[in-house]
């Protein structure tokens, strides 16, 4: 009799565990497959098309000469400058190591960064492309003159009163 009660208890326990585990396991499987389906339906991340990037590098090669105009130097160099601007110096140094390994001109980095610093007032912090456009312009011509300072505000009214 005791053995029969134990068997019933084990069977009942197994049935309860199985009843709880099966929906949980199948729910997880459905959730995982649903997530994969959602990822497949997701459109690709926005960004310039490869043809646009190729065209951009070709334009830069026509605008300048030397190894700094090579696509790998342009890509790594602009990234280094951007990281330095954002004070991510550690990552900038790692990219700079790659820049050097590709045989890119080391002097072009400080010249471009100097150009960028001198043109700080032309960078709109709210516009994401403003910084990238300025870095590209400085990369192509690091010796370009700094733009004139913004116009002075209108003179403040005088403090005297006509009482």
Structural domain harbouring 107: 50-140
- Global pTM reads 0.57
Could you tell me if residue 13 is inside a domain?
A: no
Cβ neighbours, 10 Å, residue 137: 16
- Burial per residue of 57-72, b for 16 or more beta-carbon CB atoms within 10 angstroms, e otherwise: beebeeeeeeebbbee
Whole-number Cα distances in Å, 64 to 59, 72, 109, 136, 161: 9, 14, 15, 12, 60
- Higher-pLDDT residue of 67, 12: 67
Could you tell me if residue 115 is inside a domain?
A: yes
pLDDT at 33 over 60: no
Could you tell me if residue 16 is inside a domain?
A: no
Task: Give the pLDDT of residue 88.
Answer: 94
Task: Give the pLDDT of residue 155.
Answer: 45
Could you tell me if residue 25 is inside a domain?
A: no
Q: Are 69 and 59 in contact (CB under 8 A)?
A: no
Could you tell me if residue 37 is inside a domain?
A: no
- Higher-pLDDT residue of 78, 156: 78
What's the total number of domains in the chain? 1
pLDDT 10s digits, 54-96: 888 888 888 888 899 999 999 999 999 999 999 999 999 999 9
pLDDT at 41 over 70: no
Instruction: Kindly state the average pLDDT of the residues 21-48.
Output: 52
Torsion of CA 120, 124, 127, 133, to 10 degrees: -40
Task: Give the pLDDT of residue 59.
Answer: 86
Could you tell me if residue 100 is inside a domain?
A: yes
Q: Are 139 and 112 in contact (CB under 8 A)?
A: yes
Could you tell me if residue 57 is inside a domain?
A: yes
């Amino acid at each position: 009799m005791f053995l029969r009660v134990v068997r019933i208890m084990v069977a009942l326990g197994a049935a309860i565990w199985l009843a709880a585990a099966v929906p949980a396991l199948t729910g997880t499987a459905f959730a995982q497959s649903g997530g994969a389906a959602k990822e497949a339906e997701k459109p690709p991340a926005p960004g310039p098309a490869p043809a646009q990037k190729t065209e951009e590098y070709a334009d830069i090669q026509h605008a300048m000469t030397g190894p700094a105009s090579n696509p790998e130097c342009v890509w790594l160099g602009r990234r280094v400058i951007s990281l330095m601007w954002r004070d991510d110096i550690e990552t900038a140094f790692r990219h700079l190591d790659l820049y050097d390994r590709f045989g890119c001109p080391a002097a072009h980095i400080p010249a471009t960064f100097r150009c960028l610093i001198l043109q700080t007032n032309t960078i709109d912090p709210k516009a994401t492309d403003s910084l990238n456009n300025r870095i590209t312009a400085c990369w192509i011509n690091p010796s370009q003159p700094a733009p004139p300072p913004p116009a002075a505000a209108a003179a403040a009214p005088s403090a005297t009163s006509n009482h």
